[in-house]
Amino acid sequence: MTNLDSLRITERDLDEITGLDIGAVNMGWAYRQAAFAPAARLSFLGEQLLTLCVASIFCLPVTLLLARSVSGNNAAAVWRWLPFGVVGAIALTLFWALYRWRAGKRLITLSHLLDDIDRFNEMVAAVEILEELGAAKNSRLNLENRDEVIEALHLTRESLICGLMTEKVMRKHQQFISRKQEMFSSIEKNLAMLQRIQVGDEASEYSRLLNEAIQIGTSVHKELSGY
């Protein structure tokens, strides 16, 4: 049985390849598109609330201390300045969210590639589960196409890594076109090979994974061709 751990693209791999701090909803300080997905809305709002709390911690006391200093220690004037502190905290929160959103827009290709990588890692996990189930007695799961799926996963991984590297090269050195072309041709080659793999039984789990691999490969190709 093949150890599939080596196939997984870990967060550390992503950090090293992209040169950014990659998380489930962030790329460095920038937001990934996943942060705005309907299912992540609650988490997003929670984060904004936390940011507002931290902003208040900085803005309110500083504003009020300034008010005290300017007004010559007048307590009534300090109270009058309170709304300015609140507005400052809200403005800081909005500015920070806007900055992260705009930074995310600039990294839209990377964001899509990272979504593909998430899907890929989930695929690897699914194959692992299928293998464990297949190894169990009385399992009636279809084990056909297994080698093809592993091959497809290898090709997809290679394409994704190539995609990330191309994106980084393009992001950092816009004029460094030759390297981009070299990597892009590798992605095209992998995708062509993926499409050549015959998908026999459409209903089996492995065929489903194979199709997913082809979809990811297509997505990577599409993202990079738009650069």
Q: According to the binding rule CB under 8 A, does residue 62 interact with other proteins?
A: yes
Does the footprint of other proteins cover residue 4 (CB under 8 A)? no
Beta carbon nearer to other proteins, 137 or 220: 220
Instruction: Please tell me the distance from the alpha carbon of residue 6 to that of residue 191, in angstroms, as a whole number.
Output: 21
Contact pick of 13, 15, 144, 151 for other proteins (by CB under 8 A): 15
Task: Indicate whether 212 belongs to the interface with other proteins (CB under 8 A).
Answer: yes
Nearer to other proteins by Cβ, of 43 and 139: the residue is 43
Decide: is 155 part of the binding site for other proteins (CB under 8 A): no
* Nearest to other proteins of 144, 175 (CB atom): 144
- Among 103-111, 140-148, 163-171, 217-225, the segment contacting other proteins (CB under 8 A): 217-225
Residue 93 pairs in a beta bridge with none
Q: Is 209 in the site for other proteins (CB under 8 A)?
A: yes
Question: 165 or 199: whose CB is closer to other proteins?
Answer: 199
Is 80 a residue that touches other proteins (CB under 8 A)?
no
- Considering beta carbons, is residue 76 or 175 the nearer one to other proteins? 76
> Residue 137 or residue 145: which is nearer to other proteins going by CB?
145
Residue with Cβ nearer other proteins (164 or 224): 224
Write the interaction track for other proteins spanning residues 105-134; mark x where CB under 8 A is met and - where it is not. Answer: -------------xx-xxx-xx--------
Tokens representing residue 177 in the block:
């076109």
Judged by CB under 8 A, the residue of 29, 95, 99, 101 near other proteins is 29
9 binds other proteins (CB under 8 A): no
Of 86, 66, 87, 90, residue with least CA distance to 78 = 66
Query: Got the DSSP string for the chain?
Result: ---GGGGS--HHHHHHHHSS-B-SSEETTEEPGGGGSGGGHHHHHHHHHHHHHHHHHHHHHHHHHHHHHHHTS-HHHHHHTHHHHHHHHHHHHHHHHHHHHHHHHHTHHHHHHHHHHHHHHHHHHHHHHHHHHHHSTT-----TTHHHHHHHHHHHHHHHHHHHHHHHHHHH-TT-HHHHHHHHHHHHHHHHHHHHS----TTSHHHHHHHHHHHHHHHHHHHHHT-
| Residue 195 Cβ vs other proteins, minimum distance, rounded to whole Å | 7
- Distances from the Cα of 208 to the Cα of 80, 149, 184, angstroms: 64, 10, 26
**Nearest distance from C-beta of residue 7 to other proteins, angstroms:** 14
